[in-house]
Amino acid sequence: MKNRSSFCKISVGMLIFALSTLALLVGCSSPQPKTEGAVYDTGKVAEYATPYVSYDANYNTEEYNAVDESNFKAVATSPLSTFAADVDTASYANIRRFINSGELPPADAVRIEEMLNYFHYDYPQPNEGEPFSVTTEISACPWNPDTRLMMVGMQAKSMEELEKKPSNLVFLIDVSGSMDEPNKLPLVKNAFLLLCEQLKENDTVSIVTYAGSDQVVLEGAKGSDSKEIMAAIEDLEAGGSTAGSEGIKTAYEIAGKYFKADGNNRVILATDGDLNVGITSEGELTRLIKKEKESGVFLSVLGFGTENIKDNKMEALADNGNGNYSYIDSRFEAKKVLSEELGANFFTVAKDVKFQLEFNPKFIKGYRLIGYENRIMDDEDFKDDTKDGGEIGSGHRVTVLYEIVDKDSPMDIGSDLKYQSSAVIESNDLLNIAVRYKEPDSETSKGLNYPVTTEAIKAEMSDNMKFAAAVAETGMLLRDSEFKGKSSYDSVVSLLDSIPDIKNDTSKLEFLLLVKKMATLVKEQ
């Protein structure tokens, strides 16, 4: 069983007395008021799950992969920086859950790239015939006077024609015992009911659940049969252990059965990640999902719950399964992921997207990639089409930050060479940004190049960059990063307050309020 349990010796008489007392207390207690809910096509009211559940560190079994921050690299010895794109947003929503519960998150729960990519930025749309636009901005670094901050922003093309294509969706839902909590299965139901409201008539929907074993609840229903789909979701109940690997296999099998060659094929997994029957280790799950993704079916992972979430397993599934990973901490987040940003999260326009930046030693002597630690690749893997990159959806944005060290900076990078040539090819480019990607139905990559010149250097940061810098600075403070320099929550608030339109963006305004809460929590420790 997944639920924690303790064992003690107790007499039969005492057990009967305890159960009788409990029954009496339950019978005499007043019913709890129900929160306001949404009325769906079936006529039922779906209750709002409690947005934030109190966090108790004494019972915390949450698991996160270790994050080893990238150090500064010398351009003379490491001119290339290569990594896979990442549009996951789970870390930010999870951090918000901790802060709203009155706790600071563990350092390894903080992935700065997922914090950055949670928010919208004002990047230009791609030119006609191009899948992306890539823009670069360089300005003074707020926390380190010896470096500059560089922001790289990628904007994927919004493809409305793609979003009109039929979808073949398999809802893979964890209904094990640990999901029987207000912020788990009830919230899962709300999330999928919201998704059902977005279905098109020619979509195909199947529902697979798993606990001690997997079960096909609904197979091959049409999007026009929304009442049948919603009723199946509303009837789900939690109980039992968790054989997640069997559910994954069944879900992909059904997705293959109803595969739409010219459509969107995707498994949507909702779970707390606490798998304890069948394949349970992160490594085994990674190998399983790598095999299943060869079918051409994409994956979206939705994480739920507190105290026992296995973030490491959910992230591994998404990263290795041509997918994305979101954490749902409230119905409002469910609406954001499954309704407002449906196209970006569920309609892939490019897969295996990789970045490779080459820095010119004539101008730059060092750099540090902020975040993306678990997406860093060997330089040789950039053009290797067998190596997995990241998936980008319709209208998605990818934001990347680097600290860069100018040639004349007093900062020591330690790059003296004895045997290697330090000759510099004459060029006025500061660096080059190379991008490789595959079309969703192709296994052969294409390449794009975006040279960066001194025109990218700005005396004052744009509002885009101010916000991204504030997010990164907050992440470093939460991680107590060795690279945080003179960062402080006061400086973050000051930077955010300097953005005139921040109050017009609900998510960004919420971030400002969260930063103020973080500052208070730090003072209380």
Q: Which pLDDT tens digit goes with each residue over 270-290?
A: 999 877 656 667 888 889 999
Please tell me whether residues 267 and 357 are part of one structural domain: no
Please tell me whether residues 139 and 260 are part of one structural domain: no
Q: What is the pLDDT, as a whole number, of residue 523?
A: 94
Q: Which pLDDT tens digit goes with each residue over 398-452?
A: 999 999 999 999 999 876 666 666 566 778 899 999 999 999 999 999 999 999 9
Please tell me whether residues 404 and 417 are part of one structural domain: yes
Please tell me whether residues 285 and 398 are part of one structural domain: no
Q: Does residue 296 register a pLDDT over 90?
A: yes
> Domain range for residue 303?
162-346
**Under 8 Å between Cβ of 313 and 289:** no
Q: What is the pTM of this model?
A: 0.87
Give the residue with greater pLDDT, 240 vs 39.
240
**Pair of tokens at residue 506:** 């609900």
**Pair of tokens at residue 435:** 């991008």
Which contiguous run of DSSP H or E holds residue 194? helix 185-196
Q: Does residue 1 register a pLDDT over 80?
A: no
Counted domains in the chain: 2
Residue 20 lies in a domain: no
Q: What is the pLDDT, as a whole number, of residue 246?
A: 85
Q: Does residue 379 register a pLDDT over 60?
A: yes
**Under 8 Å between Cβ of 377 and 83:** yes
Residue 15 lies in a domain: no
Picking from 293, 326, 346, the residue at the C-terminal end of a domain is 346
Per-residue confidence band for 57, with pLDDT thresholds at 50, 70 and 90: low
Q: What is the pLDDT, as a whole number, of residue 131?
A: 92
Please tell me whether residues 236 and 324 are part of one structural domain: yes
Q: What is the pLDDT, as a whole number, of residue 519?
A: 98
Q: Which pLDDT tens digit goes with each residue over 145-175?
A: 999 999 999 999 998 877 789 999 999 999 9
Residue 522 lies in a domain: no
Q: What is the pLDDT, as a whole number, of residue 283?
A: 84
Per-residue confidence band for 54, with pLDDT thresholds at 50, 70 and 90: very low
Question: How many angstroms separate the CA atoms of 475 and 155, rounded?
Answer: 23
Please tell me whether residues 391 and 427 are part of one structural domain: yes
Q: Which of 15-24, 109-118, 400-409, 446-455 has the lowest mean pLDDT?
A: 15-24
Q: What is the pLDDT, as a whole number, of residue 89?
A: 98
Q: What is the pLDDT, as a whole number, of residue 83?
A: 99
Q: Does residue 232 register a pLDDT over 60?
A: yes
Which of these, 343, 351, 260, 335, lies nearest to 302 by C-alpha position?
A: 335
Residue 197 lies in a domain: yes
Q: Which pLDDT tens digit goes with each residue over 318-358?
A: 999 999 999 999 999 999 999 999 999 999 999 999 999 99
Please tell me whether residues 370 and 274 are part of one structural domain: no
Mean pLDDT of all residues in the chain?
88
Question: How many angstroms separate the CA atoms of 207 and 225, rounded?
Answer: 13
**Under 8 Å between Cβ of 372 and 410:** no
Please tell me whether residues 360 and 444 are part of one structural domain: yes
275: exposed, middle or buried (Cβ count in 10 Å: 0-12, 13-18, 19+): buried
Q: Does residue 391 register a pLDDT over 70?
A: yes
Residue 281 lies in a domain: yes
Mean pLDDT, rounded, for 237-242: 80
Rg (CA), the chain: 24
Q: What is the pLDDT, as a whole number, of residue 44?
A: 41
Residue 19 lies in a domain: no
Please tell me whether residues 172 and 273 are part of one structural domain: yes
Q: What is the pLDDT, as a whole number, of residue 107?
A: 98
Q: What CATH number has the domain bearing residue 375?
A: 2.60.40.1230
Please tell me whether residues 267 and 403 are part of one structural domain: no
Residue 48 lies in a domain: no
Residue 316 lies in a domain: yes
Mean pLDDT, rounded, for 375-388: 97
Q: What is the pLDDT, as a whole number, of residue 415?
A: 63
Mean pLDDT, rounded, for 28-44: 38
**Pair of tokens at residue 297:** 């079916």
Picking from 293, 327, 346, the residue at the C-terminal end of a domain is 346
Give the residue with greater pLDDT, 177 vs 485.
485
Q: Does residue 312 register a pLDDT over 80?
A: yes
Q: Does residue 227 register a pLDDT over 90?
A: yes
Q: With both helix axes pointing from N to C terminus, report the angle between 311-320 and 90-100 in degrees, rounded to the nearest 10.
A: 160
Percentage of residues in the chain having pLDDT higher than 70: 85
Inter-residue long-range contacts of 254-259, CB under 8 Å, 24+ positions, other chains counted: 254/170, 254/206, 254/208, 254/216, 254/219, 255/168, 255/170, 255/206, 255/295, 255/297, 256/295, 256/297, 257/220, 258/168, 258/204, 258/206, 258/220, 259/168, 259/295, 259/296, 259/297
Q: Does residue 10 register a pLDDT over 70?
A: no
**Under 8 Å between Cβ of 257 and 216:** no
Q: What CATH number has the domain bearing residue 166?
A: 3.40.50.410
Please tell me whether residues 292 and 238 are part of one structural domain: yes
Q: Does residue 372 register a pLDDT over 80?
A: yes
Q: What is the pLDDT, as a whole number, of residue 178?
A: 87
Please tell me whether residues 203 and 332 are part of one structural domain: yes
